[in-house]
A and B are shown apart, each in its own frame.
Chain A
């Protein structure tokens, strides 16, 4: 009996980590934009939806595997993000308004427009890319015959997770090792000082929005083989990204990665040991707990530790 219970625990943990990796990729894009622009991009999920449609049509029209579409959708979304920042958000930044956060409201509007355009152009039908490896999995018992427990590792989930990991690492290198990356981080830390040091802050803002959108675009391509697609799907992922951003500590990339993993594992554990209907409740319980007890998110813990040394 204990081995059976262990099987459930391990299988849940595997699910949680795989899900968390994907969540992290969605969260990083929002965090990055949050860090540099100091606004929450509430059109984040809708941008992901756009990327999923790109991947979907590539699959249907040209039989391009969704994973290859990462190379197509990411640049496309990058330019979409750049366009949104340059032509919609920047002009609004200059306008004085009663509400200080009118750029945030603008992103909500952009999200609505995207979702409704998708409904008009592609109808409200559910779509998915039925790739032939959709239900393949690796089984522990296939490799270890006498294994007392059976674990399975889904092929598309694992591949998606691998891609997410790779993209995250690449982003980390970009942010820490390249000039452009350092400029983005400088802008995020202190915009005015960065400006004084000769960083082209305006350009960095545009580029950051592009990168953030590109990242969530990649996440969309990684999600479609394991999930499905419909025009109003954005909201739920915007919400997830938002929770991760808060959990990770506003604007911290490492925090967002950890936040994503924590959320993924927490949701899976809640689903198994409390009940799946409670997973969304758990998500917001963790969100509120984080706001009250750890306002700086995971990032503040990391920082505290570093200072302690």
Chain B
């Protein structure tokens, strides 16, 4: 009997000890596309999360616990994201989910999270309907794609005053909802849509469709694409000498340095809406951009800023949550109201959205091979160039 008591005491002691040692660390797993065609963004986000993790740990972690991030490769495939979400909920018992890159993957996780009543914060997935399905447990810190083009629309209204527009978009969730948003905006400001065409990601030759665009002579050509398609589109537009008054891109592919590197001179004067740029005046935004550049040799796109800020938002939520249980975390998440490097974060229910963050968007223009913020004027880093020269006159 004595022996048994001893054994119990020892087990008890060790379990206490074990629990304490475990309690020093807060392990959080993040699904990201680390391989596959979206891996470039996955990698950028991973690096940004890690920068935030180091900063947070240097300042004492979250409630005294050291943050340890683990990354799960979702390969950009929704079915894998779904499996990862289930694993995190069932096996790792993680009380909160956040991350992943594409809209399709985020949507898959959102469905699981809501069904299982685990709060999930979408970081980059922009398709409108993610926060329109009355998911009580799904929050989104990035604006939905309808609002991506807010800045661009105001630039159209005030400067370009276009009458017709042609829309080309990638046939994914992201591309489709970006195009739908532009259709609504175009109707709102009285632009006629002369063409609306989708294409499959990874297409080699856009010239057939572009020669059709040329026939329609639109004032504005608006494209929603990822980076390499964006470069190919502009290169082939240059080849065909299609002279629109303005070439506009809907964030993503048009807003990252790789676009200018690949399209080279064909990228000049293209404007794009974006959520964030390294020169923007949000607290910590510039510092993050410089730090990232020092470590990895290039400025991050807004996806990096979103990931970086996401961890700070999670820190804020976990600090305020009564207990680290799904229900308490959800309540804390709903009450979020903070400034981040990515901009102000506050989850609201309006215009058919639920738990959605709303914010100002910017317009960038490629001027002499560099991105400059040109709109809204209060954030501008350079004067916009409009009208743009015709292809024939460019040298």
Interface residues of A (CB under 8 A from B): 4-5, 7-8, 11-12, 14-16, 18-19, 116, 119, 123-126, 128, 130, 134-135, 137, 139, 150, 152, 154, 223, 226-228, 230, 232-233, 236, 267-269, 271-272, 275-277, 279-280
Q: Please name 10 further chain A to chain B contacts, defined as beta carbons within 8 Å, in addition to the given A126-B227, A232-B36, A271-B205, sorted by A numbering.
A: A11-B207, A12-B207, A12-B208, A128-B228, A130-B262, A150-B241, A228-B228, A236-B202, A268-B207, A276-B200
State how many angstroms separate the Cβ of A7 from the closest Cβ of chain B: 7
Main SS at interface, chain A: helix
**Is the pair B239, A137 in contact by a Cβ cutoff of 8 Å?**
yes
Contact (A272, B265) CB under 8 Å given A228-B232, A230-B37, A232-B36 = no
* C-alpha gap A179/B301 in the complex (Å): 58
* C-alpha gap A134/B232 in the complex (Å): 10
Q: Report 27 cross-chain contacts, Cβ distance below 8 Å, ordered by A residue.
A: A8-B211, A8-B214, A11-B211, A14-B207, A15-B205, A15-B207, A18-B205, A116-B35, A119-B35, A126-B228, A126-B262, A128-B228, A135-B239, A135-B266, A139-B241, A228-B228, A228-B231, A228-B262, A232-B35, A268-B208, A269-B208, A272-B208, A276-B199, A276-B208, A277-B199, A279-B200, A280-B200
State how many angstroms separate the Cβ of B256 from the closest Cβ of chain A: 10
Neighbour of B206 across the interface among A18, A130, A276, CB < 8 A? A276
State how many angstroms separate the Cβ of A194 from the closest Cβ of chain B: 38
Which chain B residue shows the least CB distance to A153? B239
Neighbour of B212 across the interface among A128, A154, A230, A272, CB < 8 A? A272
CB-defined contacts of B239 to chain A, threshold 8 Å: 135, 137, 152, 154
* C-alpha gap A201/B208 in the complex (Å): 45
CB-defined contacts of A124 to chain B, threshold 8 Å: 34-37, 39-40, 42-43
**Chain B positions 46-60 with a Cβ under 8 Å from a chain A Cβ:** none
**Is the pair B197, A276 in contact by a Cβ cutoff of 8 Å?**
yes
Which chain A residue shows the least CB distance to B211? A11
Contact (A232, B37) CB under 8 Å given A4-B215, A123-B43 = yes
State how many angstroms separate the Cβ of A125 from the closest Cβ of chain B: 6
Total B residues in contact with A, Cβ cutoff 8 Å: 41
**Is the pair A268, B205 in contact by a Cβ cutoff of 8 Å?**
yes
Contact with A along B15-46 (1 / 0, CB 8 A): 00000000000000000001111011011000
Q: Is B79 an interface residue (CB 8 A)?
A: no
Q: Is B1 an interface residue (CB 8 A)?
A: no
* C-alpha gap A135/B210 in the complex (Å): 15
CB-defined contacts of B202 to chain A, threshold 8 Å: 233, 236
* C-alpha gap A271/B231 in the complex (Å): 19
Contact (A15, B208) CB under 8 Å given A232-B36, A277-B171 = yes
CB-defined contacts of B39 to chain A, threshold 8 Å: 119, 123-124
Q: Is B261 an interface residue (CB 8 A)?
A: yes
**Is the pair A125, B240 in contact by a Cβ cutoff of 8 Å?**
no
Contact with A along B190-202 (1 / 0, CB 8 A): 0000000111101
Contact (A275, B197) CB under 8 Å given A8-B211, A8-B215 = yes
State how many angstroms separate the Cβ of B136 from the closest Cβ of chain A: 35
* C-alpha gap A11/B215 in the complex (Å): 11
* C-alpha gap A280/B205 in the complex (Å): 13
Contact (A276, B203) CB under 8 Å given A11-B211, A11-B240 = yes
* C-alpha gap A268/B241 in the complex (Å): 19
Which chain B residue shows the least CB distance to A136? B239
State how many angstroms separate the Cβ of A15 from the closest Cβ of chain B: 4
CB-defined contacts of A125 to chain B, threshold 8 Å: 40
Which chain A residue shows the least CB distance to B76? A232
Q: Is B238 an interface residue (CB 8 A)?
A: yes
* C-alpha gap A8/B227 in the complex (Å): 27
* C-alpha gap A15/B236 in the complex (Å): 11
State how many angstroms separate the Cβ of A223 from the closest Cβ of chain B: 8
Which chain A residue shows the least CB distance to B204? A227
CB-defined contacts of B241 to chain A, threshold 8 Å: 139, 150, 152
Which chain A residue shows the least CB distance to B38? A124
Which chain B residue shows the least CB distance to A142? B392
State how many angstroms separate the Cβ of A236 from the closest Cβ of chain B: 6
* C-alpha gap A124/B264 in the complex (Å): 21
Which chain A residue shows the least CB distance to B258? A126
Q: Is B235 an interface residue (CB 8 A)?
A: yes
Contact (A7, B204) CB under 8 Å given A125-B40, A232-B36 = no
* C-alpha gap A268/B227 in the complex (Å): 22
**Is the pair A272, B262 in contact by a Cβ cutoff of 8 Å?**
no
Which chain B residue shows the least CB distance to A9? B211
Q: Is B189 an interface residue (CB 8 A)?
A: no
Q: Which of B198, B211, B228, B264 is most buried by chain A, counting CB atoms within 10 A of its CB?
A: B211
CB-defined contacts of B266 to chain A, threshold 8 Å: 135
* C-alpha gap A269/B212 in the complex (Å): 11
Q: Is B8 an interface residue (CB 8 A)?
A: no
Contact with A along B242-285 (1 / 0, CB 8 A): 00000000000000001001101110000000000000000000
Which chain B residue shows the least CB distance to A271? B208
Which chain B residue shows the least CB distance to A233? B202
Contact (A134, B212) CB under 8 Å given A125-B40, A126-B227, A268-B205 = no
State how many angstroms separate the Cβ of A53 from the closest Cβ of chain B: 16
State how many angstroms separate the Cβ of A249 from the closest Cβ of chain B: 24
* C-alpha gap A139/B240 in the complex (Å): 9
* C-alpha gap A96/B125 in the complex (Å): 49
Contact (A19, B204) CB under 8 Å given A126-B227, A272-B211 = yes
Top-8 shortest CB links A-B:
A124-B39, A271-B208, A277-B198, A276-B199, A11-B211, A272-B208, A15-B207, A137-B239
**Is the pair B212, A8 in contact by a Cβ cutoff of 8 Å?**
yes
**Is the pair B264, A135 in contact by a Cβ cutoff of 8 Å?**
yes
* C-alpha gap A279/B231 in the complex (Å): 20
* C-alpha gap A69/B35 in the complex (Å): 28
Contact (A126, B208) CB under 8 Å given A5-B215, A135-B265, A152-B239 = no
